[in-house]
A and B are shown apart, each in its own frame.
Chain A
Amino acid sequence: MLSALQPASLAGIPANPPGIPQGISGQADPAPAPHLPCHHCGEPCSQGQFKLDSHSFCCLGCQTVFSLLRDSGLGNFYSIATRPGTRVDAAARPDRWAFLDDPSVTARLLDFNDERISRVTFHLPAIHCVACVWLLENLYRLHPGVGRTQVNFARREVAITFSPQKAPLSQIASLLARIGYEPSLTLAELDHKTERPRSRLGLQIAVAGFAFGNIMLFSLPLYLGLDSVTGPTFRGLFGWLSLALALPVVAFSAGDYWRSAWASVRQRTLTLDVPIAAGLAALYGQSAWEILSGHGEGYLDSLAGLVFFLLCGRIFQRKTHERLAFDRDYKGFFPLAVVRQTPTGEETVSISRLQVGDRLRVRHGELIPADARLLSDDALIDYSFVTGESEPVTRHSGDHLYAGGRHVGGAVELETLKPVSQSYLTSLWNDEAFRKGRNDSFDTLTNRYSRRFTRLVLAVAVAAILGWALAGNASRGLKAFTSVLIVACPCALALAAPFTLGTAQRLLARRGVCLRNGHVVEAIAKVDAIALDKTGTLTAASTTEIRFHGTDLTPKETAAIAALCGQSTHPYSRRIAQLAPASESLLVSGFSETAGAGLSAQVGGRSILVGSAAWLRRHDVPIPDSHPASASVLIAFDGRFRGAFTLDNTLRPEVDTLLHNLGQRFELALISGDNERERNRFAVLFGDHARLHFNQSPQDKLGFIRRLQSKGHTVMMVGDGLNDAGALRQGDVGVAVVEGVGKFSPASDVILDSQMVPRLGSIVDFSRRATWIVRVGFSISAAYNVVGISIAAAGILSPLICAILMPVSSATVVLFAVGATTLAARRFGLTSAAGPDLESETRNTKR
C-alpha cells in the first residue's frame, strides 16, 4: 500500500492520515536505494526538495516538525530512535479541529476540568516507539499552554494537562497533529470514557494469595507435626492467626460470589455462584468450629487457596475476553469503502482510513459512515437504521448528518466531522431491529444446561454429605460436599461457544469477511442451499466490456448519461458512469431510482431514462423492435428511445471452480435481474441440475428464497447489498458482496469483500468446522464434570485440588477453542496477516 501512495506523497499532497500504517512502514522497511529516507519519518524523498541542517525531508510537514523540535531543544528525538517520526501532512486544514471547542464536545472529551486547568486523554494511533513516548511527555516544550503529559503506550493514549485559557482543546489537537500524532476521536471512545482499570479483582487476588501463603505457613507445622514441647503453645496461636487471616479472604476476596449468589437466590434463578458460595460457607464454618472448639486445624488453607485459584481463573477468562473484544474493534474493520474527493479527483478509500475533514461523495442508498456536515444543497436521509423511523428526513446544506443514516436520491457531497467509529457501526448492525427471528442456539443450549447443571450439582452435593453422614463419617461428608460444589464447573461449557465463534469471527474479519456477530458462523454452518446474484457478485462490474447500439450519442449526451449514472450505485450504473469524467457543470435534478428497474432524472434540462426495457415502457417510451435482443441497459432522452448499452460481464477469477465445487455440495441457484442472454454461459458453469433464474425483480428473488426455505432448505443469499436487500434479509444467511464502494446493508449477516467471493466454499467449511469445535468443547467440559464430580462425591478430592482443577478445566476449553479454530482457519487457508497487528508493533518498539 505504501508504494501506491508514493506519487501522492512525493507531490506533497495530503495523501493519507499519519497513522499506524505509515508509522510502521517508516519503521519496518527503510526506503529504497535511490531516495534518501526522510530524516523525520524515514519515507523516501526526492533529493533536495526539502532540506534543513543538511537533513532532507519528504515533505514540508516533516521539515516543520524537525525545526519545531530543534528550536525547543527536543532535538534528541532523532537520536533516541532512528527515524522515529510519522509522516506529517503540512497542508492540514486550519479549522479542522474547531469542532473540539464546541462546549458539548469539549465536555465529553475532558477527564477533568476546572477554570484554570483541564485534562484530556487522546487516542494517538501514531505512537509507536520509545521516542514517541519521550516527545509526547515533553510536549510542554512545544506549547506554553501544555502541562504534564503522560503516555500509555499499550493503549496508544496520552493524557494531557493544559490550561484552557492559554490553549483551547482545538490547539492541543492541532499541535499533536502538526507533530505527526493525529488524535483519533471515535464515538465509541467518547462514550465509554471513564472506564477505570478494575483493580478490584487484582486486590482480591492479592489478599487471597497473601492469606493463602501465610495460612500455609501456619498449617505446615501442624502437618509436619509440632514437637511435644513447643506444640501446645503454637497449635492454638496458629489456629487463631489462620482464622484471622482467612476472614478478609471470605469477606473481601470472595465478596463477588456472595453477592451474585444472593442475587440469584432472590431472583429464584440458580447461577453457578450459588454452589461455590455454599461451598465456601461450609468450609469456613467447619474450620471455625474446629479451631474454636480445639478439635482440629480446619481447612482454612484450602479455603484461601480455593478462593485464590478461583479468582485466578476469573482473571484469565477476562483477559481472553478483552483480547477478543480488542481484535474486534481494531482489526476487524468492515470492508466498506467510500468515495473521497481529493484535489486531483476522486479516490476510493476504506472507511477505516477516513479522517476528519474529508470531503465525501455519497450516492443513492449509501450509508453515511461518520458524523458529517452536508455540503450539497439538499439531501434526503433515511435514519431507519438509527432511529427505526423509516420516513426519510430532508436536510439542508450545512446541516449535521449523523453516522448510520442512509442517503436516498442523487449523490451528495459532505464533509466528515468525526472519524468513523467501528464499534458504532457494529452496534448499528447488531441492532435488534435487524436481528432475525432465529434464536442463537448455542446460547440457549448453554443457558438451559447450566441451570439444570446447577440443580444437579447441588443435589449430588447434598446426597454426598447425607450419604457419608449416614455412613458415620460426617467430616468426610463435608469434604465431599464442598469438593463437589467446587469442582463442578459449567463455566468451561459457557466458554466453549463464545470463544470459538468469537475467534472464528475475528479471523474471518481479518480477511475481509465481516460477520454481524459470532452466531452467524452457526447459521453459515447449517447452509445447504446457496442462491447467487450475478452482476457484481459472480461478475466484476468494473471490468465489464461496454458497447453502445443505436443512434450515436454526442459527447454532451454521454456526459449527461454518465452524470446520471454517477448518482447510482448499481454495478451497471457505475460502469456507464466511467464513460465520461464527472463534471460539475451538469446538475442532476429530480433523480429517482427504482431498484432492479432503472434511473430517471433531469440532466442539463433534458429528462433521461436509463434502465431495463420494462422501465422505459413504464414511462411510455416506445421501443423499436429493431434494437438487439441482447441489449441490457436502454437509454431514452426526453421520452425518445436512443439506444442501449450492452455490457458483457467478465467473471471474477476462480468463480468457475467455485461454482463447480459448490455445485457438488449445495443446492445452487442463480437469480439475476438481467435478461436471459447469458443463460447458456452460466448453465455451463452451474452444471445441468442447477436452477438459473433471470429477469428477477427484487420481489421475485425474495419469493424464490421463500420457496427454497419452504422446501426445508437453509439458504445463503449472496448478492450486492442494495438491490437484493429483501432477499438478503429473507435468506438464513445474507451475504452482501462489496466491491470498491460498498453499500452497507443492515439486512445482511455477512459483508464479503469481493476478493473473497471465490472462497465462499472454504468459508462454509470453516464455519462447519467451528461449530464442530464448539461441540467438542462441550463434551470436554461435560466429561471433566462427570469424572470430577463423581470423584469428589467419593470424598477423595480435597477442596483445594478442586479449586485448582476448576480453572484448569476452563483454561483447557478456552485454549482448545481458540487454538483449534485458528488451526482450522489455517487449514482452510483463511488466515493472513492482513490488518494492522498492534501486538507486533509493540514488539517492534523494543529495539
Chain B
Amino acid sequence: MNVETFRYDNRIVRAFAIATIVFAIVGMSAGLLAAIQLFYPAANLNLEYTTFGRLRPLHTNAVIFAFVGNGMFMGIYYSLQRLCKARMFSDTLSWINFWGWNAVIVAAAVTLPLGLTTSKEYAELEWPIDIAIAVVWVVFTVNLLGTIAKRREKHMYVAIWFYIATALTVAVLHIVNSLAVPAGAFKSYSIYAGVQDALVQWWYGHNAVAFFLTTPYLGLMYYFLPKAADRPVFSYRLSIIHFWALIFLYIWAGPHHLLYTALPDWAQSLGMVFSLMLIAPSWGGMLNGLLTLRGAWDKVRQDPMLKFMVVAVTAYGMATLEGPTLAIKSVNSLSHYTDWTIAHVHTGALGWNGFLTFSMLYWLFPKMYRTRLYSVKLANYHFWIGLLGIMFYVVPMYFSGVTQGLMWKQFTADGFLQYPNFLETVIRLLPMHRLRAVGGGLFIVGVFIMAWNLYKTAKHGNFLADEEVQAAVAEPKHVPADKKWGHRWLEAKPITFSVLTVLAILVGGLIEIVPFYLIKENVPTLSSVKPYTPLEVLGRDLYIREGCVGCHSQMIRPFRSETERYGEYSKAGEFVYDHPFLWGSKRTGPDLHREGGKYPHAWHYHHMEKPESTSPGSIMPPYPWLLTRKLDTSSLQARIKALRRVGVPYPEGFETTAKQDLEAQAQQIVLGLKTGMIDAPPDREIIALIAYLQRLGTDIKAQALAETPATP
C-alpha cells in the first residue's frame, strides 16, 4: 500500500511565536504607559501621539490582535498540521497570512497614535486596514480549510472544530460591523447610526471576545493541555458537547453590553438571559480541562508549563462565571462604566489568553529546537511573578470599580448626591490605579524573563525546520449504498462547506442589508433633533480622533443618581445622526451627553489647554495642540457627502455651502470666547471641538420630555 512521507512546517510556527513575544512586549508596555497616565497624566510626555485617548486603542489592538492573534496562529499552525497529519495547505498562503497580519498590526501601530480611528471598540482601525484584515483573514481561512480538506487523519479532533468556528465567525462579525462609507483615505462613517450602531458594535464586540479570544484558545487548550499532561482529555464527549453548546449560545449574547441604555428593554433582557445560559458550557469546558489533570498534580508541581495551563483554565472559569454575573441588570447597573469591567477583561486577557500563550511558548520552543528548556527555574519565576502581577492588577480594579460605582449612586439623607463633583470619585481611586500599574509592570517583567529564557533555549538547541514524518494514505472514498442523496456531496470535503457557508452568509447579508434600506426608521424621531452642522461634524471628528470616548460616555442611564448628576436620561431618538455612536463604555471622566451649554466656551478653552485650571486634581491630559493647530477643512465636502450617503438628511448641494456655514458658526464661537477674555483665531481646531461639545444633548432641552420615550 502506498505510504506518504511529508514534512510539518515549523518555520511558520516559529515566525508567529517570535511575533507573539515581540508584540506581547509592545502591547503590554503600551498598556503600562496608559495605566501610569491614569494617575500621572504627564506620562504622556506632552505628545499628542501618546495621550491616553490614542494609547488605549493601541494597547487593546496590540494585545488582542497582535499578541493573542499571533499566539493563536502559532498554536493553530502547529497543532493543525499534526492533527490533520498534513503540511499546511499552502506555504505561500501561510506566509501571506504571517506578513499580512503583522503588516496590519504595524499599520495599526502607526495610524492609531495619529488619531486615525473609527472609535468603535476593538474595531478602531480605518477602512483600508479593515479591508486588509478581511483579506488576510480569508487567506487564513482558506489555508485552514485547505489543510483540513487534504488531511490524512479521518477524524477531526475537537480542536479543529474550534478553529473552524473562529475562522468563519470572525469573518462575518468583522465585515458586518465594519460596514462604513469612506470620506477620504483614512476617514469613514459607520453606515449604522446611534442605537443601531451600538447594537451592531456590541454584537461584534461581544462575539469578538467570544470567537477571537475564547474559541481558538479553547481549541488550543484541548490540544496542548492533554499533550503537556500526557493523558487524554478527561471526557472527549464532553469537549464535543462543550463546543456545540458554546457555538449555539454565543451568537445571541451580545446585547448585555448595553443594559440600561436606550436599547429596547426586551433586547436587553434577551442578552441577559442568554449570557446566563453561557455559564453551563463554559464551566463544562473548564472542568473538562482541570479534570484532565486529575492524578497528574505531581506533574503540575514540576512542570511550569502545566502551572501556566492550570491558572489559564481557572481564569477562564472565573471570567466566564463573572461575565454572566455582570450581564445581570442589577449588577450591571453598578459595574457598568467602572473599573470592574476592566478587572473582568484582564482576568481573561492576562490569565486565560496570556498564561495559555506562555505555556504554549514554553512547550513549543524546546520541541521545535529539539532541546530542553534553558531554565525551568526562570520559567517558574515567570509563573509566580506573572501570577502576582495578575493579582495586583485585578484586585485593586475590583475594589476601585465597586467603590466608584457606589460613590456615584450615593445620596445624602436629604436626597442630594453625596459626591456631586465627579472628580472626587476619581481622586479616590488613584491609589488603586497606582497598584494596578505595579501589577501590569510585574506582568511585563515576567514576559521579559520568558523572552530571555526562550532565546537561550533557541541558542542551545538546533531548529528543526521541516519535521519529516510518515503516514499511510487514506483509501479512496467509497460511499456505502445506504447513504442518503444529500450526504455524498456533503461528504465531499469541508471545503464544500466553507463555500456553502460563505454563500449562506452572503445571502444572509443581503436579506439583512435590503430591509435595512427599505424599512423606514421607526425609532421615534424627535422633531427637534437636527443633523450636526459642518463645524460640529469636524468637532465630533476631533472628539473621535483624540479618543475622548475612551474616558467619557455619552449615555445617561435612567437612574436618579445619573439624571441628578448629568441631566435628562438619553433617548434612542437623540442619536439618529450619530455615525458612529459615541456612547462609550467607561467613565474615567464624567458623562458628556448633556454637556452642551453647561459651561461657557471659555471654560472649555481653558479646560483643554490645562484641565487643572478648571478642575483641580483632574487626571485628564492637556490638549494644547488643539488651540494652536489649524482646523483642516479640506475634506469637509467629502465628509458631508459621506454622511448623506449613510442617511443624514443634508439637503442636496449642501456640501458646497458647508464651508461658509462653518465659518459663520466659528465666528459665533470666537465671539463667545471673547466674552471670556479669550482671543482665539476662528480657524483653530479648538473652535470646532467647542462647537460640538456645546451642541451635545441640547436638542431635546428645548422641549424635554415632550415626546414618547423609547424605553417605557
Contacts and interface: CB of A to CB of B under 8 A. Distances in A.
B89 to A, nearest CB: 21
B265 A227 contact: yes
A584 to B, nearest CB: 48
Contacts of B3: 140, 147
A31 interface: no
B270 interface: yes
A166 B252 CA distance: 56
B472 A117 contact: no
B265 A224 contact: yes
A544 interface: no
A147 B710 contact: no
B712 interface: yes
Interface in A450-481: none
Given A217-B252, A217-B274, A233-B522, A226 B266 contact: yes
Contact of B473 (A147, A163, A221): A147
Contact of A229 (B231, B252, B523): B523
Interface string A122-162: 00000000100000000011001111111000000000011
A847 B230 CA distance: 8
A92 interface: no
B476 interface: yes
Given A117-B475, A220-B273, A227-B711, A147 B1 contact: yes
22 contacts: A112-B478, A130-B232, A144-B1, A147-B3, A147-B472, A148-B472, A150-B154, A161-B1, A196-B482, A213-B248, A217-B274, A220-B269, A221-B269, A224-B270, A226-B264, A226-B266, A227-B265, A227-B711, A227-B712, A228-B712, A230-B264, A846-B232
Contacts of B269: 220-221, 224
Contacts of B232: 130, 846
B233 to A, nearest CB: 10
Contacts of B597: none
A238 to B, nearest CB: 10
A161 B475 contact: yes
A146 B522 contact: no
A130 B229 CA distance: 14
B472 A140 contact: yes
B524 interface: yes
A149 B475 CA distance: 10
Contact of A147 (B154, B252, B273, B475): B475
B474 interface: yes
B1 A145 contact: yes
Nearest to A161: B475
Interface in B692-710: 708, 710
B710 A229 contact: yes
Interface string B247-272: 01100100000000000111101100
Contacts of A117: 1, 475-476
A345 interface: no
Q: What are the nearest 6 A-B pairs in CB distance?
A: A147-B1, A221-B266, A140-B472, A148-B472, A224-B266, A161-B475
A192 to B, nearest CB: 15
A117 B476 CA distance: 9
A150 B472 CA distance: 11
Given A147-B472, A229-B710, A163 B273 contact: no
A225 interface: yes
A220 B266 contact: yes
A87 interface: no
A388 B32 CA distance: 89
A407 to B, nearest CB: 43
Contacts of A141: 470
B711 A230 contact: no
A117 B474 CA distance: 12
A772 interface: no
Interface string B542-580: 000000000000000000000000000000000000000
Interface string B576-588: 0000000000000
Interface residues of B, number: 34
Given A213-B248, A230-B264, A119 B522 contact: no
DSSP majority for the B interface?
A: loop
A229 B522 contact: yes
Contacts of A225: 265-266
Contacts of A229: 264, 522-524, 708, 710
Contacts of A161: 1, 472, 475
Interface of B: 1-3, 154, 231-232, 244, 248-249, 252, 264-267, 269-270, 273-274, 470, 472-476, 478, 482, 519, 522-524, 708, 710-712
Nearest to B292: A846
A204 to B, nearest CB: 14
A78 interface: no
Interface string A203-227: 0001001100100010011001111
DSSP majority for the A interface? mixed
Contacts of A213: 248-249
Contacts of B270: 217, 220-221, 224
A846 B154 CA distance: 23
A233 B519 CA distance: 10
A310 B528 CA distance: 56
Interface string A281-304: 000000000000000000000000
Nearest to B154: A150
A226 B273 CA distance: 16
Given A141-B470, A147-B1, 17 more contacts: A117-B476, A140-B472, A148-B473, A149-B472, A161-B1, A166-B1, A196-B482, A206-B244, A213-B248, A213-B249, A217-B274, A221-B266, A226-B266, A227-B265, A227-B266, A227-B712, A846-B231
A660 B267 CA distance: 78
A162 B273 contact: no
A158 to B, nearest CB: 13
A233 B521 CA distance: 12
B274 to A, nearest CB: 7
A148 B3 CA distance: 9
Nearest to B248: A213
Contacts of B249: 213
Q: Which of B264, B273, B274 is packed against the most chain A CB atoms within 10 Å?
A: B264
A367 B336 CA distance: 80
A144 B473 CA distance: 13
Which of A141, A144, A227, A847 has the most chain B CB atoms inside 10 A of its CB? A227
Nearest to B523: A229
A203 to B, nearest CB: 11
Contacts of B264: 226-227, 229-230
Nearest to B231: A846
Contacts of A149: 472
Most buried by B among A162, A209, A220: A220
Contacts of A163: 1
A227 B474 CA distance: 58
B107 to A, nearest CB: 38
Contacts of A228: 708, 712
A163 B472 CA distance: 13
Contacts of A166: 1
B519 to A, nearest CB: 8
Contacts of B523: 229
Contacts of A147: 1-3, 472-473, 475
A117 B1 CA distance: 9
Contacts of A162: 1
A178 to B, nearest CB: 19
A25 B593 CA distance: 75
Contacts of B519: 233
B710 A140 contact: no
Contacts of B273: 220
B227 to A, nearest CB: 12
A163 B475 CA distance: 11
Interface string A553-566: 00000000000000
A230 B473 contact: no
Nearest to A217: B252
A609 B712 CA distance: 109
Contacts of A130: 232
